[in-house]
Amino acid sequence: MDQQVALITGGAKGIGRGIALDLAAKHWKIAICYRTSETEAQRTTQEITARGGEALALRCDVSDPVAAKNLVSQVEQKWGRIDVLINGAGPYHRINLFDETVEGWNEMFSGNLHPIFYLAQAVAPGMKARKSGHIISFSMANADQMEAQPDVTGHYIAKAGILILTRTLAKLLAPYGITVNAISPGFIDSGSAPPQELAAMVKRIPAGYIGTIDDTVAAVRYLLSDDARYVNGANIQISGAWGI
């Protein structure tokens, strides 16, 4: 797996950063995409280099289909290919459905679901030509339950859509030796949720504790390994049995 190329959206911090640093230790070439986290992106690229990888940080709003396509082109022009696409970016907000704005509603889909479609279309030709590649996207632990979600409706629907899109891409790309899978975290101490919210959730998690970034990175590591070569269209829950 040495010297392979990964593109990670949302790679400047949190889970995306954890994945980038794990791949860096294996001497990967890693492009991280960020929208607003410039300081964190610079810090992460320095850490990637320090761990033995090659780093590239690119500012891009992947909700823009043209920008998403150009992002893939930039990485391919620099390193010749993309072996792994990690879809880690995704905005989130909590608001009652009847207080939601049209702009907020659209943002949940344009930020969480649509970029996976745009980026998959862009990376697929190269992966198909090489007959290898991996795409991993992030949903959420209870998205497959189709429960009512009055305060995170748009986000929840988008995350459920990711599971359908993942399966569809897997079926289309499996003949070319490409795997497409989803990871669905529950409550992970990644810096995206307030500490008080995480603390309040512990009693609802059967495992009895909050997950870590390392728990999620381990699932990514597995899906990129030869051990998972026949795992395609799967959804791995990282939640301590919450949300099932």
Catalytically annotated residues: 156
What is the torsion angle, in degrees rounded to the nearest 10, for the CA atoms of residue 150, residue 196, residue 43 and residue 60? 10
Q: CA nearest 28: which of 36, 39, 19?
A: 19
CB 103 within 8 A of CB 154: no
Q: CA nearest 8: which of 51, 48, 52?
A: 48
CB 143 within 8 A of CB 162: yes
Please identify which residue in the block is written with the tokens 């790309």: 173
